Each structure stands twice: as structure tokens, then as C-alpha cells.
Amino acid sequence: MTVDVGLAGLGRMGRIHADNIARGAATRLAAVYDADPDVARTVAGELGVPWVATYKELLDAAPAVAIATPTGTHAEMTVAAAAAGRHVFCEKPISMDRATAVDAIEATERAGVVLQVGFHRRFDPDWVVVAERIHAGELGEVTLFRTTLRDMTPPNPAFLKNSGGFFADVTVHDLDVARWLVGEVVEVTAHGAAADPAFAEIGDLDTAVVVLRFENGALGVIDNSRSARYGYECSTEVMGTLATAKVDGAHRHNYEWRTPGWASRDLLSNFGERHRLAYVAELEAFAHAVETGTAPRAGGRDALAAFDLAAAAETSYRTGQTVTVATERKNDQP
Ligand SMILES: NC(=O)c1ccc[n+]([C@@H]2O[C@H](COP(=O)([O-])OP(=O)(O)OC[C@H]3O[C@@H](n4cnc5c(N)ncnc54)[C@H](O)[C@@H]3O)[C@@H](O)[C@H]2O)c1
């Protein structure tokens, strides 16, 4: 069985999804749509699929949609999809503000359609095996969580203006991984900086360190950068009383080039290279959720919980205070 999926948004992320939906064993790319018809026509031509000129036509083309448009458009498109009875895979974050995100999540819940969000690390084979072993108790009690997400180069200024800000756009991935691997977070303390003046000009950050305290007593630290320069890095370490898990994989190849007194290895340059398998697996999982009617591993309530933690980080950064995460929100209630 394959699930027909219409794809909206054909930029950095949408192009990755277009290839994966078109080539995936569990999915078929029914049609593509982009606000720029030339982009839609080009991608459709490359993949040999139809393109449509409006989102309404996309919704008419398939029982499921994948939304990879700029963040500010996600909620409205999710609500429209739910109203049409379409299942939704939506890139993160669902919205730049909480109330709109809740409306979109509730619209999908009322319509009884699947809503999966683009927390791809929940589907990355390296993180998946670590999560399974932690959840099976092999690590013992978790004492320390550390994770790093650094882009090699920043996205373009137009993207940044509509990103929802550093914590909601970048740190949100790590906050979701923290909840998934360790458990609920009760305290957030964030520090941020704009090392590149271009970020300061638009009131955004390019560097941050976020300290977490988990409900189970563990501590966590997240470090993020928009421009690490040396390469793309995404790594996670979880220390426990019985074992420590470490996920790395910063290299493109498994060889070193050795010269006298020196060894060099190539590094990854972007998220598409590092998480290739995760982006394939998340859409396979989406198709599975649609076919079986089961809850996705990264659902709307997970998106909301991570959004709340990102908002807590934003507040902590702005006030210089540690933020206690509201208990009613900790449990994913809207
Ligand atoms: N999960 C991840 O690893 C990951 C990585 C990058 C981006 N993202 C998310 O994906 C989304 C898109 O990011 P991107 O980097 O691909 O952006 P982008 O700017 O590269 O691409 C956006 C595309 O959407 C099109 N578009 C704009 N408004 C539209 C509309 N109303 N309807 C249809 N098309 C529209 C644009 O023409 C463009 O082609 C963002 O929400 C971002 O947070 C997720």
C-alpha cells in the first residue's frame, strides 16, 4: 500500500521531502505546490509529477499533505487540510504563536486526521536505537543530557524573518529530543548571543546555551549555533547510572587521510546530509500512521510541548531568569 501525498513548499526542506515522497516505498507524490509557480513547475518536471497552482487544488489531489512552507503559513494550511479531511505532515514549528498552534492541533483532532510534525531526529536510526535502550532501562537513571545542534552557515535573511526566532526554530529540535529521551522538563535557563551583527539587526540570535532541569532530577545542556563555519554538527550524549549513550556522526565518510603527524577527515555540511535516513523514515512513518490510524511518534502535542519549552527559553533569555515550566503545559495540555 502507498499513501498519496501532496507537497506544499519546495524550498530547502521541501526539495528533500519531494525526493523522499516520490521515491519512498510507502508514499507516492500526487502533486506539488509552491507560491512560486516556476519552482513548482521545475520540481514537477524533474520528478515527473503534476504541479498545481493553488493549495485548494493540492488538497483535492490527495488524502494527505506535507507542508514545508515558511513557518507562519503552517497553522492555516493545517486547519484547511483538516477541514478537507486530509492527513497532515507539517514541518516544525506548527506556528509562531501558541494559540494558533493549539487551534491547528485541535482542528486535526476534531477531524480525526493524523498530524505528524517534522521532528526528524525521532526517526533517525542512531537516535532511535539510543531511545529504545534508554526507555528499556539499560542506561539506568539518567543524570545528564547534553546535545548540540550547529548549522555550518545560516539560512537566508528572508527565511530568518519568518522563522519564529532562534529558540522556536533551532533549539526546538533539541528540546523535543530532551523530552523524548529523558522526560519532561521543569526548568529552563537560556543564554543567547548574536555574534554576527546581521542577527542583531533583525533582533535574533545565532548562538545559545540552554540549561534544563528535568522532572526526574536529571540536568541537561543544549548548545546551538547558526554558523559553526567548520561544518554541520548534531550530537547527543545521555549519561546514566549504568551506561552513557553518545550519538555523533559528524563525518561524511568513514576514512581518514593521514600525512606525517596529521590525520584529516571530511565533515558534513548540512542537515540534509546528516539526517538523510531520518527524513526518509519520518515520511514512511507518516504513511504508516495514515494507513493504520495510529498516533505518530512526533504528534501535535509533542510539537506544542517543545514549543512551550522554546517559549520558556525565550523568556529566560530576555529576563535573565530561570523559568519554571507551567505544570499544566508540561503534560501537553493546550
Ligand atoms: N526539520 C528540519 O530539519 C527542517 C530543516 C529546515 C527547515 N525546516 C522547516 O521547513 C519549513 C520551510 O523551511 P525551508 O528552509 O525549506 O524554507 P525555504 O524558504 O527554503 O522554502 C520555502 C518555500 O515555500 C514557498 N512558499 C512560501 N510561502 C508559501 C505559501 N503560502 N504556499 C506555498 N508555498 C510557499 C517558497 O516559495 C519556498 O519555495 C520551515 O517551517 C522550517 O522551519 C525544517
Q: Is 91 in the pocket of ligand 1 (CB under 6 A)?
A: yes
Structure confidence at residue 327 (pLDDT): 55
Strand partners, 6: 31, 65
Specify the ligand 1 atom closest to the Cα of 9: 24
The pairing of strands 64-67 and 3-8 is parallel
Final residue before a domain boundary, out of 78, 96, 119: 119
Pair (52, 71) in one structural domain: yes
Is 14 touching ligand 1 by the criterion CB < 6 Å? yes
* Residue 291, in any domain of the structure: no
Tell me whether residue 212 is in a domain: yes
Q: Concatenated DSSP letters for 292-328?
A: HTPPPSSBHHHHHHHHHHHHHHHHHHHHSS-EEPPHH
* Average pLDDT across the chain, whole number: 96
Cβ within 8 Å of residue 254, ≥6 positions away: none
> Is 278 part of any domain?
no
Q: Over the stretch 197-233, which tens digit does the pLDDT of each residue have?
A: 989 999 999 999 999 999 999 999 999 999 999 999 9
pLDDT at 334 over 50: no
171 C-alpha to center of ligand 1: Å?
17
**Does 57 contact ligand 1 (Cβ within 6 A)?**
no
Both 196 and 268 in one domain: the answer is: yes
Question: What's the rounded mean pLDDT across residues 76-80?
Answer: 98
Whether residues 114 and 150 fall in one domain: no
The per-residue pLDDT for 157 is 86
Q: Is residue 285 part of a domain?
A: no
Q: Do 131 and 218 have their domain in common?
A: yes
- Determine whether the shortest distance from the Cβ of 232 to ligand 1 is under 6 A: no
In a shared domain, residues 126 and 95: no
Q: Does the CB atom of residue 42 touch ligand 1 within 6 A?
A: no
Rounded mean pLDDT, 309-319: 98
**pLDDT tens profile 228-252:** 999 999 999 999 999 999 999 889 9
In a domain, 286, yes or no: no
CA–centroid distance, 1 to ligand 1, in Å, is 28
Same domain, 115 and 128: no
- The mean pLDDT of 19-35, rounded to a whole number, is 98
Give the mean model confidence (pLDDT) for residues 164-183: 97
Residue 176, C-beta contacts closer than 8 angstroms, at least 6 positions apart: 92, 119, 121, 122, 298, 302, 303, 305, 306
Residue 110: per-residue pLDDT: 98
Last-in-domain residue among 119, 148, 174? 119
221 and 326, same domain (yes or no): yes
**254 plus 242 within the same structural domain:** yes
Ligand 1 neighbour 159 (Cβ under 6 A):
yes
Q: Are residues 94 and 215 in the same domain?
A: no
43 Cβ closer than 6 Å to some ligand 1 atom: no
| Residues 160, 253 within the same domain | yes
Is residue 306 domain-resident?
Answer: yes
The whole-model pTM stands at: 0.96
pLDDT tens per residue across span 81-127: 999 999 999 999 999 999 999 999 999 999 999 999 999 999 999 99
The CATH number of the domain holding residue 183 is: 3.30.360.10
Give the domain extent around 104.
3-119
Give me the mean pLDDT over the 257-276 stretch.
Answer: 96
d(CA 231, CA 209): 19
**69 in ligand 1 pocket by Cβ < 6 Å?**
yes
**Dihedral sign of CA atoms 68, 73, 76, 80 in order:** negative
303 and 202 in a common domain? yes
Least confident residue range of 154-158, 209-213, 234-238, 256-260 = 154-158
Same domain, 166 and 304: yes
* CA 78 to ligand 1 center in whole angstroms: 14
- Pocket flag, ligand 1, residue 165 (CB < 6 Å): no
CATH of the domain at 49: 3.40.50.720
Q: Which of 7, 10, 12 to mutate to test the pocket of ligand 1 (most atoms within 8 A of CB)?
A: 12
Name the grid cell of 310: 522554546
Number of domains in the chain: 2
